[in-house]
Structure 1
């Protein structure tokens, strides 16, 4: 019995070590990508940062592209979970927009490396020779925001319009966040975003109003006086 129990502990210990090494590689990649960018960062940079050999890297990931895909899937999955948690119970458009913006600020305010990855990989989607497979997590993320917007808009909007609205929400937050970081001290970034949230919500509400099919529906949404 004791030998059997001991035999079970060994694979569990190995599994924990394997998981820890994989996580160390992912954490190292986050730091390297934030410092060098997706294209300039090499596998050697990542393994040196993680203090492991290249063989260990290839045991866990078949390529740098595969690691990038997993990182993006993880970050966007966690961001989506935060959005779902914060937006539960939202019943009006302005309230939802405010909560969506707040959820993004809350998520990225303590995860600068993840924001850099999010921002860089989103830009990579526009390249003809970008990293394969990274579009799927972004599509899932945008689909969730589209569904939330549709749930509080009382009139039907075509799928392409909802997609543009979802892109506008995420683009406004991420674009502004990146420029505030350049222009402000680190400790001022989150406060600057919070103080302008009302203006950002008003801008988005106006943008959505322009997509409304007629004045009656706009009035129902409280978008016109």
Structure 2
């Protein structure tokens, strides 16, 4: 099966899962949405659970790669933090349906929680790395980088989700192009709380 077909299945699956929830989504619905036979899906994924896990792992891996690329474009820790936050916001806006699914479904069972939390920890660790370098270089104050990275990731994710639901009629690209406010607000909050040095 071509990557293009798998991509179509993932695209259809994220839409169906987000609209109906994992429990009510059916493989027939996903096959219909993707324009493929149900057997085509089962050729690669033995169950709905396996498809869901593959879909979320794929999306989270792409998000990590996107965030790292954007962050690596600059060297100064404050600029890295800005680039990282902008990348997170941009990715989640561009993949708004995935963002909804991520926050709505990944904590719904112990098995899923364990698998997806590993990816979330990696995203949080990227933020932690930037904070730790900034502390070492004197750009950031002495803080608990682990707890702060978790708080930043959580706050940004929830903020994006609220924006996605509020402007559900806008496409992902439109949201990404018009919504820089969460990044600005987050950086202002960090400055106000004394995490970043003025």
* Common fold by TM > 0.5: yes
Instruction: String of CA shifts for 1:116-157, please: whole Å, max 9, x gaps.
Output: 233224xx3365464662232222222222222222222797
The CA RMSD over aligned residues, in Å, is: 3.0
Instruction: String of CA shifts for 1:141-192, please: whole Å, max 9, x gaps.
Output: 222222222222227979xx43322222222222112222334474585466
Q: CA deviation at 1:206?
A: 4.5
Q: Secondary structure at the match of 2:119?
A: helix
Mark the runs of 5 or more structure 2 residues left unpaired by the alignment. none
Instruction: Show the counterpart of 1:140.
Output: 122
Partner Cα separation in structure 1 for residue 54 and residue 96 of structure 2 = 18
Q: Secondary structure at the match of 1:90?
A: coil
Q: Does 1:91 align with 2:73?
A: no
TM-score by length of 2: 0.77
**Structure of larger gyration radius:** 1
Instruction: Show the counterpart of 1:204.
Output: 190
Say how many residue pairs are matched: 191
Partner Cα separation in structure 1 for residue 12 and residue 116 of structure 2 = 19
Q: CA deviation at 1:73?
A: 1.8
TM-score by length of 1: 0.69
Instruction: String of CA shifts for 1:26-51, please: whole Å, max 9, x gaps.
Output: 12102212222233212222122223
1:87-166 to 2 correspondences below 5 Å: 87-88=71-72, 89-93=74-78, 95-121=79-105, 124-125=106-107, 127-128=109-110, 130=112, 133-154=115-136, 161-166=144-149
1:38-77 to 2 correspondences below 5 Å: 38-77=22-61
Of 24-33 and 42-51, the range deviating more from structure 2: 42-51
Instruction: Show the counterpart of 1:169.
Output: 152
Partner Cα separation in structure 1 for residue 7 and residue 165 of structure 2 = 30
